[in-house]
Copies of this chain bind each other. A is one copy, B any other.
Amino acid sequence: MEHKKEEDVSEWYNEVVETAGLSDKRYPVKGMNIWLPYGWKIMQLIDRKIREEFDATGHSEVCFPLLIPETEFQKEAEHIKGFSSQVFWVTHAGDNPLDIKLVLRPTSETAMYSMFSIWIRSHADLPLKIYQIVNVFRYETKQTRAFIRVREIHFFEAHTCHTDAEDAERQIREDIRIMENLGKALALPYILHRRPDWDKFAGAVYSLGADLLVGEKALQIGTIHQYHENFAKAYNIRYEDREGNHRYVHQTTFGLSERLVGAVVGVHGDNSGLVLPPAVAPYQVVIVPVPKKEKKEAVEAYAKEIWKLLMEAGIRVHLDLRDLRPGNKYYDWELKGVPVRIEVGEREILENTVTVVRRDTKEKGTIGKVNLAEEMRTLLTKIQEALYEKARRELEAQTHWIGTIEEGKNKKGVLRFNWCGEESCGLEIERLLDVSMLGIPVNVPAKKGKCIICGKETEIVADAGRSL
């Protein structure tokens, strides 16, 4: 690794992504990268966690078409305003112009909601809770960055419909719990913010964003939106209630994306490369035989025994038998962030043990072969928890209370302060500190004080930060 995380987090990030073999950005369309096998495997493990959470809460997985007719796309005014400058247009098929132009979905509200108006007839059809994992397309004009700002985005979107505002609010609370579970599963602590009105999702009544820090830069990793009746009115999604009245449904959405991979890379990685949480590591354990020449066969046989033992216990384990020096292998697997390295040589055979090295702390230890699977599971859980806890402490340490604009000028990370709640003051904070308003942290108690711009008495606490 040429770049140091503490010196230039952006360059460090780009280098890790490339050298660990996660993604290739040399594809000849800007901002559209190739998922390489190792990166794709991490994404699939994350998708699996996401599916578990949403399946367990009664969501059904569907898959809608990519292309949205212009006529459908333009039904919700705020939504189009938010997306029309960002969409790719399909205008021709073969040599012929299309009668109705088609948009590559930038998100699927406008693809799904005319169908919802067909599917939903009565209160018995509600709540409707579906999700899909698909790619979406946005013509980003800012500088692109692997997993974080790309033009083809691996995307998760849940869409729900409810009989009333109350049930839609219950859904938001369920979504917040799901986000908490995912944060734990990926070892990604975050701060949940209610976005300021000028930054909510196009068409939403309000938006929540889950934000964390990569180095000192803020990164949004998930969003939850309350639409209430906004889209239902545009797409005429109504149901007959028990009394025979026709009412609009209330809707919510939940969005996640490949940014979760970017966050895992950025939050946990260090100057030796990736550090993967065991839950999403393609290999949780790698075994490197360290033989003296004359003992090669015996050591490799022992290594295979260990491999079999762990594999049969359901641990994702890889045995590295490449014709390379052990030191080179250590370097490779550190770069790729495998949580535990096992070294076996003559001594381990004699003692019926393995040497284990943790990727996160680089601590070395010994585990007996008896009970290896069980102790390895315990160790992996410990590492998972340690990564979460370390990141949580770092996020806390990088969250700075500022009493004045002046105090904020030399601070990095998350800046926290009193805000009167007015847009004009919010925009002024953004301008003076060169930050973005992240919004009101949902789980932080209100606090009396004065808006750092206008000085008005307020109880609102708000956060701001610079985006990665």
**B-chain residues with CB within 8 Å of residue A36 when the two chains form the complex:** 62
**B-chain residues with CB within 8 Å of residue A37 when the two chains form the complex:** 60-62, 130
User: Does A152 make an interface contact (CB < 8 A)?
Assistant: yes
User: A89 to B87, Cβ gap below 8 A?
Assistant: no
User: Does A84 make an interface contact (CB < 8 A)?
Assistant: yes
User: B89 to A93, Cβ gap below 8 A?
Assistant: yes
**B-chain residues with CB within 8 Å of residue A41 when the two chains form the complex:** 61
User: B135 to A66, Cβ gap below 8 A?
Assistant: yes
Tell me how many chains of this kind the complex includes: 2
User: A65 to B33, Cβ gap below 8 A?
Assistant: yes
Give min CB distance, A332 to chain B, whole Å: 16
CA of A90 to CA of B41, assembled, Å:
29
User: How many of A's residues come within 8 Å of B, CB to CB?
Assistant: 50
User: Does A88 make an interface contact (CB < 8 A)?
Assistant: yes
Give min CB distance, A133 to chain B, whole Å: 10
CA of A278 to CA of B232, assembled, Å:
40
CA of A139 to CA of B90, assembled, Å:
12
**B-chain residues with CB within 8 Å of residue A102 when the two chains form the complex:** 29, 88
User: Does A72 make an interface contact (CB < 8 A)?
Assistant: yes
CA of A250 to CA of B118, assembled, Å:
51
CA of A60 to CA of B44, assembled, Å:
13
Apart from the given pairs A29-B69, A40-B63, A89-B91, 8 other A-B contacts in the complex at a CB distance below 8 Å: A29-B67, A32-B65, A37-B61, A37-B62, A40-B62, A86-B94, A88-B92, A93-B139
A interface list, Cβ under 8 A from B: 24, 26-29, 32-37, 40-41, 44, 60-69, 71-72, 84-95, 102, 104, 111, 114-115, 118, 130, 135, 137, 139, 152, 154
